[in-house]
Amino acid sequence: MAAEKMAVTRSTFDEVILPVYAPAQFVPVKGQGSRVWDQQGKEYIDFSGGIAVTALGHCHPALVDALKTQGETLWHVSNVFTNEPALRLASKLIAATFADRVFFGNSGAEANEAAFKLARYYASHKHSPYKSKIIAFHNAFHGRTLFTVSVGGQPKYSDGFGPKPADIIHVPFNDLDAVKAVIDDHTCAIVVEPIQGEGGVTPATPAFMQGLRELCDQHQALLVLDEVQSGMGRSGKLFAYEHYGVTPDIITTAKALGGGFPVSAMLTTNEIASVMAPGVHGTTYGGNPLACAIAEAALDIINTPEVLAGVNARREAFVAELKALDARFDLFSEIRGQGLLIGAALKPQHAGKARDILNAAAAEGVMVLVAGTDVLRLAPSLVIDTLDIQEGMARLGRALQQVL
């Protein structure tokens, strides 16, 4: 007999969860495509995509099918054994990218942790144990472990946790001269997001990305691209590095990789992978059959010409709607990002109002995100319906009327 479900409400959160989040006042209970319903049955249009995670919307039939089929077959065997879904997913990621080798984890932070450890380990083994400097960027975000939060360029997330890992230096994003000023032969890696997500949805310029590649080559450092948010079709290509004509040494991906199921990957070349050996790094759950089966189903759909071309068409629809709102409210100084990672920067007279707009939008039945205090961030499903875009934007317009 099924156990009785305990009644819980939003106030339960304040009693039982560590107070590190401030979630909305409604509790979503069901999702279908780009629509979500709360405990009271109220409907919302989802422009947040679980922070760029639900790239195929909620409960996509192919992902549900993969979950059910694998869920009745094999969930977990540990890395003492391998499994078929992990091998198939790795093979498909390699076929679609520059990479020869894959490491699976469960979160973006874990993929980045693995990437940063690999970069230092490679430099230590191939060059010198003193070649350990990591160059990263102000306003970057790479995760919440002590190492990844230290590489991230936002002190508000890393201060107060005791001594930080050493030999990490931060310089301004999109400023090649600043990188030239600090790079040297002790540098093991430059770590960069092709599109800074948390930092305001700011894409790297082509000249910057190409310059980083050249500097890494000159100093025998690795170019590590954090594609946790920008990867898996979000930019209109499978990975955002493809827009730049630059081949990285390591990329990480997570978020949309499992379409909502926790899974991440770090991808690299045979040469860089060659320094690793059994026992040097690992994870209990990473590459488990359940996660990999779902991620394979997501990859098979996302990595198609129809879906990737559709991302760019949908971006145009969103930008047109945002420009219409700007014409009404004199609201945005800039609409930036790539593909369906969209940042709408507020004009100085509306500074600090991003969170108010998010809350008002929720009240009107549309879920949006912020990137800092002055940027609205949209990261909807890559296959969101045109009608959902129009209806969600109409709701956002009503919310703006309330706030402004």
Hey, what amino acid is at 221? A
Nearest to 371 by CA among 272, 241, 242, 229: 229
Residue 141 annotated among the catalytic residues of the structure: yes
Which residue do the tokens 């919302």 mark?
Answer: 44
369-370 vs 375-378, strand pairing mode = antiparallel
Residue 330 annotated among the catalytic residues of the structure: no
Task: Exactly one of 38, 226, 249, 374 is catalytic; name it.
Answer: 226
| φ and ψ of 190, to 5 deg | -110, 130
CA Rg value for the chain: 21
Nearest to 242 by CA among 253, 255, 231, 228: 231
| φ and ψ of 377, to 5 deg | -120, 130
Which residue do the tokens 């912020």 mark?
Answer: 370
Q: With contact defined as beta carbons under 8 Å apart, do 268 and 99 qualify?
A: yes
Hey, what amino acid is at 99? A
Q: With contact defined as beta carbons under 8 Å apart, do 134 and 265 qualify?
A: no
Residue 177 annotated among the catalytic residues of the structure: no
Q: With contact defined as beta carbons under 8 Å apart, do 249 and 267 qualify?
A: no
Nearest to 141 by CA among 110, 178, 109: 109
d(CA 107, CA 51): 13
Task: Exactly one of 26, 104, 116, 141 is catalytic; name it.
Answer: 141
The per-residue DSSP string of 192-260 comes to: E-SEETTTTSEEPPHHHHHHHHHHHHHTT-EEEEE-TTTTTTTTSSSSGGGGTT---SEEEE-GGGGTT
Task: Exactly one of 255, 261, 374, 388 is catalytic; name it.
Answer: 255
d(CA 254, CA 242): 17
| Positions marked catalytic | 141, 226, 255
